[in-house]
């Protein structure tokens, strides 16, 4: 479904501030794979997502999605088939528009130009049914502005916006990190439910090392712009967090130093 071939990205090349953010990344995701991604600050996790989403062009390599080369497509073109959630619940929605209007914009994603924007009674009922499955009571608040929702409610709606038209790829960039523990757990549960139901190919950056082993079917660890661990199957199933830290030390030849991740 997703294939990265020798993907590299350097910021500020040929200057004192040069930084190799991605170094020859080769990665293949099969349809339905759910990959969790961990690594310390500056490991290249968000840069990897930005490369896939088209936030900037890569320096070298190719990115293929569903067999199509998307390397040189603009971000808005990729957004038709790639859903994305950010750590900040304020991103990805229009705060002054209602829940219903935000869902309608997402629902129209990928349609041909010239389609008139409007919300039919049938659409409203569909949105109501979808929201009811979240179990947050939002189905009765379709006319509420997004900016009035709590962080967890907003993130849940954003998750629905990203998946209401099943994407080829879903990118989750620490989408529960800014929420309180109880709300984060609720959104994480909803995420796994929606991903499993739609069999959506998913990549999730997480700061929680235990979550990286509990969610999905594969765990990738990054360091200095490289993939240093790619774990799946039985090798992943029997791992604990201490095992993961030991593997990091073995591959990177240094201690893992992100306290936030180790204490989660």
Q: What CATH number should be reported for the domain holding residue 201?
A: 3.40.50.300
Question: What global pTM score does this model have?
Answer: 0.89
- The answer on 56 and 12 residing in a single domain is yes
User: Residue 43 corresponds to which tokens in the numbers above?
Assistant: 């490991």
- The answer on 171 and 75 residing in a single domain is yes
CA 29 to CA 118: how far, in whole Å?
Answer: 36
Place of tokens 């109880």: 182
Is the Cβ–Cβ distance between 231 and 219 less than 8 Å?
yes
Number of domains observed in the structure of the chain = 2
Is the Cβ–Cβ distance between 174 and 4 less than 8 Å?
no
Q: At 8, give phi and psi (nearest 5°).
A: -135, 145
- The answer on 110 and 69 residing in a single domain is no
- The answer on 76 and 13 residing in a single domain is yes
Cβ-Cβ contacts under 8 Å for 45 (sequence gap 6 or more): 37, 38, 39, 173, 205, 222
pLDDT given for residue 114 in this prediction? 46
Tell me the CA distances in angstroms from 91 to 151, 155, 257, one per residue in order: 11, 9, 29
- The answer on 109 and 153 residing in a single domain is yes
- The answer on 150 and 182 residing in a single domain is no
pLDDT given for residue 52 in this prediction? 97
- The answer on 212 and 160 residing in a single domain is no
Among 106, 139, 166, the domain-final residue is 166
223 bridge partner residues: 226
CA 118 to CA 101: how far, in whole Å?
Answer: 9
pLDDT given for residue 257 in this prediction? 64
pLDDT given for residue 116 in this prediction? 52
CA-based nearest residue to 227, from 4, 6, 25: 25
Domain that holds residue 31: 2-81+167-263
Q: What is the mean pLDDT of each run of 10 residues along the chain (264 residues)?
A: 96 92 96 94 93 95 96 92 89 89 83 59 89 87 92 89 92 89 86 92 92 92 93 91 87 66 48
- The answer on 65 and 43 residing in a single domain is yes
- Within a domain: residue 231? yes
- The answer on 247 and 177 residing in a single domain is yes
pLDDT given for residue 263 in this prediction? 45
- The answer on 30 and 146 residing in a single domain is no
- The answer on 9 and 74 residing in a single domain is yes
- Within a domain: residue 92? no
- The answer on 202 and 117 residing in a single domain is no
């Amino acid at each position: 479904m997703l294939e990265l071939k020798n993907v590299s990205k350097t910021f500020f090349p040929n200057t004192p501030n040069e930084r190799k953010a991605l170094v020859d990344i080769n990665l293949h995701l099969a349809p339905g794979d759910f990959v969790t991604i961990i690594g310390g600050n500056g490991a290249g996790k968000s840069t990897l997502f930005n490369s896939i989403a088209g936030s900037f062009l890569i320096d070298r390599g190719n990115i293929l999605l569903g067999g199509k080369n998307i390397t040189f497509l603009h971000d808005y073109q990729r957004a038709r088939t790639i859903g994305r959630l950010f750590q900040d619940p304020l991103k990805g929605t229009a705060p002054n528009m209602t829940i219903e209007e935000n869902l309608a914009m997402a629902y129209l994603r990928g349609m041909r130009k010239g389609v008139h924007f409007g919300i039919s009674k049938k659409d409203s009922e569909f949105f109501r049914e979808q929201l009811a499955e979240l179990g947050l009571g939002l189905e009765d608040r379709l006319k509420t502005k997004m900016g009035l929702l709590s962080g967890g409610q907003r993130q849940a709606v954003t998750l629905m916006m990203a998946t209401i038209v099943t994407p080829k790829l879903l990118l989750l960039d620490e989408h529960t990190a800014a929420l309180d523990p109880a709300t984060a757990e609720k959104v994480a549960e909803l995420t796994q439910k929606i991903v499993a139901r739609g069999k959506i190919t998913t990549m999730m950056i997480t700061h929680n090392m235990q979550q990286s082993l509990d969610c999905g079917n594969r765990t990738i660890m990054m360091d200095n712009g490289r993939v240093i661990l790619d774990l799946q199957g039985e090798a992943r199933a029997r791992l604990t967090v201490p095992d993961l830290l030991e593997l990091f030390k073995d591959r990177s030849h240094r201690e893992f130093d992100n306290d936030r991740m180790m204490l989660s």
